[in-house]
Amino acid sequence: MDRSPSLTTAAHVMISGAIVLALFVACATNPPDSPGDDVVRRTNRAASIPPAPATESPESRIERVGDLRSLDSDTVLISAQRFARETQQLIDRGDFDGWKKLLSDGYREHYGDAQKLERLSQHARLRHAGIHLESLQDYFDHVVRMSRHDTSVDRVKIIDEQRAIAFAKVNGEEFVLYHLIWDDGWEIDRY
């Protein structure tokens, strides 16, 4: 059967997207049992911090306070959403170099590791699509770009003074979009 190149390419993109979405949904962590408790704890800590000037950005407030746990959840959420939007623009453009600058050292090392990429390449859907990951660039092209299509941060859970998890909803299911670390600005971290 003779297939046109556009049909083959479209099928490849659809299969890759399904693979990536399945990988990220499978790796998602469960949301907390009572997210309200998390918000209440942060709100009580935030009460002891003097209010920010009206023109202060969320990023400036995070930097000034220095501990994500001491901030109200809206400040962290707005900042993480802004970072995710900027990251999404890089991903949509296929800007590997720009995206790579947003990664923590641990993330770059982990997903750039040949053994890790080999293990990821063994996933049935990647194999079926004929995709073999050999570099961080391959991971970006075949996993990140496909899994982050049309996503946005819906909720952020603060883990500790520097770390947060950004969640997205896809088809009504919540999954981890990014593990974030604050180090003079947000970075995408491994976990």
> Please, which residues have CB within 8 angstroms of residue 24's CB and are 6 or more apart in sequence?
147, 175, 176
Task: Read off the pTM.
Answer: 0.66
Using an 8 Å Cβ cutoff, are 147 and 168 in contact?
A: no
pLDDT tens string for the chain (191 positions)?
444 454 454 444 444 444 444 444 334 444 444 344 343 333 333 334 444 455 677 777 777 776 777 777 788 888 888 888 888 889 989 999 999 999 999 999 999 999 999 999 999 888 999 999 999 999 999 999 988 877 888 888 888 888 889 888 888 899 998 999 988 788 999 88
Give dist(CA 49, CA 55) in Å, integer: 17
Structural element, H or E, at residue 127: helix 124-128
H/E segment holding residue 187:
strand 186-189
Going from N- to C-terminal start, the domains of the chain cover 5-189
